[in-house]
Each structure stands twice: as structure tokens, then as C-alpha cells.
Amino acid sequence: MKYTKILIDQKGRKYIFKNDDLHTKDGMIKADEINKCEVGETVKTHIGTEYTVIYPNITDMLQKAKRGPQAITLKDAALIAGYANLHSGSRVVNSGTGSGILDIFLAGIVYPEKVLTYEIRDDFAKIAGKNFERFGIGNVEIKIKNIYEGIDEENLDAVILDLPEPWLVINFAAEKLKIGGILISFSPSIEQSKKFHGALNMNFLQETFECVLRNWDMKVVRPCSRMIAHTGFITVARLISRNKKLKF
């Protein structure tokens, strides 16, 4: 993947370079000057303020992505990717594309394989598509389809769901996952998670948890007064068989 460049000022403010003259609060920078810069080099605005040119990392992308529906946070995306056991070449289906935030995260991990992402709303798919284009991400395929009606892909390493009724996808996922593959549901409500858990059978080993993130202010060596607390529950289910019929 070839990412666009971003420019950062001395206070850490970030600007996305869109291959056009860049207008900042400190003045304008010609597109030709930015294009000439290698990452790590600096370029000056017309009034002499310096900006450093770098490629965006995943945090930059999530901060600068256009938002539509409520987006998943980096703390949850990182846990989902880790528990899904994803790596380069993994085959993953995601459903509930929204703004494409999770897909952006997953695309960098499974590259050069594609992320297949299911979305039923055209307006959300358009927002996600613009975000992928904005950051030069070419290995995400958006499918305008209701995943409650089935999964097209075979031999999957992971299926990830951010849906109101994820339990409706369990049987489809069990058919299309490899043995040992991972089914993950992210739900803001514990009642959703409970119902998803109740619909899993003995073919799956599962656990549910949430992630609470607390930053520290190292100038005074104490926790920051604000924190990212509850955002949702993550249920991880590992497919170990297709033969067992008993419920947990």
C-alpha cells in the first residue's frame, strides 16, 4: 500500500497532503515542494513556518478519517486484530463497515490479502470508500450485501461483526471459517453479547471482555483525569469443530 503524506507542525498538529497546495494556519505550502520532500524532511510555508513530512500511521488515519456512524476505537481494533490471530495473508471478512475505521486497521495487517467488508447502507459505503482512497488503501473490497443472508467467501481465518444482531451470522461463519478460525463480535450492549454467547454451541470456545484505556500524564506522574472507559464488549469465539450440537 502507498499511503499519502501528512505534514506535522511543532505542536503536533497534522495536515493531510492531497497532492494539491496545502493551506495551514501558518500559511500555504506549494504541492511541488511537498512532493520533492522525502519523509523525515521539513518544508516551510510561505511565511517560513516549518512542517515535517511523514507517512501516516494507523493512529493518524483513525484521527483524520471522515466519520459517519459511531466508529470503533483504536484500543478495541487492536484487541480484535490480536485475538483474531491476523497476519499477512490472512483471509478476513468484516461486517458493519460504517466509516471503514476497522477495515483501515485490518488492511495493513493482512496485506497483500484483501479485507472483505459487508455493508448494507450505500451512504456508509461511500464514506468508507472515500477514507480508503484518502489514505491510499487498495486492499479493501466493499460488498453492498446483508451478511444476515450469508457469507460468500470460503476458507476464512476470521469473521468480525459489528452488528445489532450478530447471532444471526453464527451458522454462516461456522460454515465458512477454517477449523481454528476466529469469530468475533463487538457489541456496545451486554444484552447483545449475552444473546450472542447463548447462540454459540460447543463447536466454539469463547470468551467475552471489555477494554478500558487510561493514559498517564508523565509530567506529574499520575493518571490523566479523562480516560476512554467502556466502548463495547468483545466476544471471541474459536471454531474447534463442526460436529458438536450442544449449547453452552
Q: Is 147 annotated as a binding residue?
A: no
| Annotated binding residue 100 | yes
The 3 state secondary structure assigned to 149-217 is HCCCCCCEEEEEECCCCHHHHHHHHHHHEEEEEEEEEEECCHHHHHHHHHHCECCEEEEEECCCECCEE
Q: Which amino acid is at 181?
A: G
Q: Which of 202, 194, 213, 209 is nearest to 241 (CA)?
A: 202
Is 16 marked as a binding-site residue? no
Output DSSP code: residue 38.
P
To which residue does cell 447483545 refer?
192
Is 108 annotated to bind a ligand? Reply is no
How many CB atoms are located within 10 Å of the residue 122 CB? 9
Query: Which helix (H) or strand (E) element contains residue 23?
Result: strand 22-24
* Burial class of residue 85, CB neighbours in 10 A (0-12, 13-18, 19+): middle
- Phi and psi for 150 in degrees, rounded to 5? 135, 165
Please say whether the beta carbons of 88 and 157 come within 8 A. Answer: no
* Rounded CA separation 180/157 (Å): 8
CA 123, CA 111: separation in Å to the nearest integer? 26
92 forms beta bridges with 115, 158
Annotated binding site: 99-102, 119, 162
Annotated binding site for S-adenosyl-L-methionine: 99-102, 119, 162
